[in-house]
Copies of this chain bind each other. A is one copy, B any other.
């Protein structure tokens, strides 16, 4: 029986630090198979991924991941705690024994903290202070309850993984890995510098793109794909968001997931003069909402993700790619997985009433930006060795 270790990732795009993380996951847990649950074409912060999910899967497969399963847009584009719990549930459904995750506090006892958090009463509804963001209030809550202060985004993710894991009927082993800033890692493992995905995306957005900077911190396959393009970002999506808000009536906007407290009026008001996405976000910003929250709301709006559709979404496991070991592992677990295991999207799955209807709809909006087929006729990728 093959043993699997899981990770929850975005790979936006896949870089040397990710390759290092994969190899650590395998080494620390002695797993036969490394499974990545990866955001699809849209990422947690509320943005289109710079490369599509198939391109990012290809990068993961040649850099040590054995099985890539899609974290659907409806689950991925969520606050950290929901993103984390969706990912944990998927890894558990995929039969993983352990979860490896990066954190700034690797010395904490996550297993123990998870149990503590899971025993706390449901708290989301209590954060009703309109002068502060949800994130600030969640932070205060953790500080009061656990004496933990959250200074880095990945700390919140780590705590959320721990809590979601403790809530499973059979929790997995949590393996925190100390996160490090950008630093030199010229080891056999990483063959290059480690940077952050944010820094890479920023270098790509320079005019001209800072290719030399990018090249140092990503594997060859990522670099080639980035150079070929097309690269996707909010700037390419913004004309459609603007049109969308202009043509929508208030009822259309009110139906959008997370459109509450009159934000639809604010959107309608601010969009007319907005020339860039950044300017629009800035115009929307109030003390009550973080930029991430508003950015996700904009993404729900442009993707027409309604509360009803998000609430009706049933879980599934869509396989984006595998190595021979990953494929073997899939074979091993396929009788036990609690959710539909999908390797090919047919019209029935993709139609509106189908299990993947909502995600297919959002993928077609992404496809419309790049012209690259995202849905029908795509099968799980296999690793193509780097030249």
A309 cross-chain contacts in B, Cβ below 8 A: 249
* Given A240-B240, A247-B244, A250-B352, A364 and B272 contact (CB-CB distance below 8 Å): yes
A272 cross-chain contacts in B, Cβ below 8 A: 364
Give A337-381 interface residues, CB cut-off 8 Å to B: 352, 361-362, 364-365, 368
Report the separation of the CA atoms of residues A247 and B301 in the bound assembly, to the nearest whole angstrom. 10
Main secondary structure of the interface of A (DSSP, over half): helix
**Chain B residue, CB-CB nearest to A250:** B352
Report the separation of the CA atoms of residues A309 and B272 in the bound assembly, to the nearest whole angstrom. 22
A250 cross-chain contacts in B, Cβ below 8 A: 352
Inter-chain contact B246/A364, CB cutoff 8 Å = yes
Inter-chain contact B249/A352, CB cutoff 8 Å = yes
Report the separation of the CA atoms of residues A306 and B250 in the bound assembly, to the nearest whole angstrom. 13
Inter-chain contact B304/A247, CB cutoff 8 Å = yes
**Chain B residue, CB-CB nearest to A249:** B352
**Chain B residue, CB-CB nearest to A363:** B246
Inter-chain contact B368/A242, CB cutoff 8 Å = yes
Residue A248 CB within 8 A of the other chain: yes
Residue A25 CB within 8 A of the other chain: no
Q: Nearest-CB distance from A17 to chain B (Å)?
A: 34
Chain A residues near B (Cβ < 8 Å): 239-240, 242-244, 246-250, 252, 272, 302-304, 306, 309, 352, 361-362, 364-365, 368
